[in-house]
Amino acid sequence: MKKLLLLTLSVLLLGCMALLPVTEPQATASPAPIAPEPKAGTMAEFDHGSAETPAGTTLVVSVFADDRTCSWDMTRDRATVDEVRRILGVTEAFVESLAASYGVACDLVTDFEKHPDLLYTASFDRVIGSDGNEDMLVWQYLDTLDVDALLAAHGAQHCVFYVFLNTEPGETRACATRSWFPMMPYPYEFVYLYVRSDGMTNGPAIYTHELFHAFGAPDYYMSDLNYNITDATVAYFQQNLPTDLMLTCTDPYTGTYNMKHVTNSVSELTAFFIGLTDRSELYDKLELWGCEHVTP
């Protein structure tokens, strides 16, 4: 009987407990460490131009430029502008994923619709990019932008500028990048990006190839004594790195430009040239020099 009473009391007690609010045990762990906010860069800090490496946050600033040969009407040419933005997005995803594969945190900010402060229009009364004499005009224009404020607003450390020209497919000027060199007059690294040339619309591989120039990679398809790339080195690249993005922008599977993806490979040598890794056996084996990320 006593036992039964005890049991009944226990059941009643349990029933009451179920109705009581449940109190979670108090957490006693020490507060999680707060990661330091990455510090935004300033133009004065750049040792090797504004692009440097994919590590950290890099702004891609888009300048839609008119020159003597072509112009933009941002309303009429909306579809082309949207296509440029889409292609930049493909480049962004490709570079971020490549950097992640080397354990490097990279945030490439390209979307000028989401971030209107990354979109500019300009007009140059020259044939832009025809013989390199227009570089100074472009640098002087870029110098009118408050780049430090842009870097601060996005917490970014680096920036690259794309000068987009609304060219026709018959355009013969080739996309080119003004990347860092010692004594460059301004620190701004920029790309002349002709949206159409040689009968085609330039796609994500071209945009990315040019960006890699800004990060420090040379072309592999021609000799360049700044890097000790000789004709023999070019032949080596053709034989051993046939699909590398610095050798070719053509889709290795179709032989044409791929407009949706970057399908070219990125060798460890290229990763080394853009500062994603601090070693490349090939760089030593081919006795190359001039990598801007190597401290002498």
> Using CB under 5 A as the criterion, which residues of the chain lie in contact with Zn ion when the complex forms?
219
- End-to-end CA, the chain: 92
Q: How far is the CB of 91 from Zn ion (least distance, A)?
A: 14
Question: Which residue is at the shortest CB distance from Zn ion?
Answer: 219
Cβ atoms 268, 277 nearer than 8 A? yes
Q: How far is the CB of 210 from Zn ion (least distance, A)?
A: 7
Place of tokens 């179709």: 254
Report the alpha-carbon distance of residue 219 to residue 238 in Å, rounded: 12
Q: How far is the CB of 188 from Zn ion (least distance, A)?
A: 18
Q: How far is the CB of 108 from Zn ion (least distance, A)?
A: 19
Report the alpha-carbon distance of residue 213 to residue 131 in Å, rounded: 19
Nearer to Zn ion, 56 or 218 (CB): 218
Angle at 28 between CA 23 and CA 29, to 5 degrees: 130
Cβ atoms 152, 23 nearer than 8 A? no
Q: How far is the CB of 269 from Zn ion (least distance, A)?
A: 15
Nearer to Zn ion, 13 or 181 (CB): 181
Nearer to Zn ion, 148 or 219 (CB): 219
Nearer to Zn ion, 81 or 291 (CB): 291
Q: How far is the CB of 209 from Zn ion (least distance, A)?
A: 6
Output phi, psi for 211, to 5 deg. Answer: -60, -40
Nearer to Zn ion, 119 or 221 (CB): 221
Output phi, psi for 79, to 5 deg. Answer: -65, -40
Nearer to Zn ion, 111 or 219 (CB): 219
Nearer to Zn ion, 118 or 191 (CB): 191
Q: How far is the CB of 175 from Zn ion (least distance, A)?
A: 8
CB atoms within 10 A of CB 138: 23
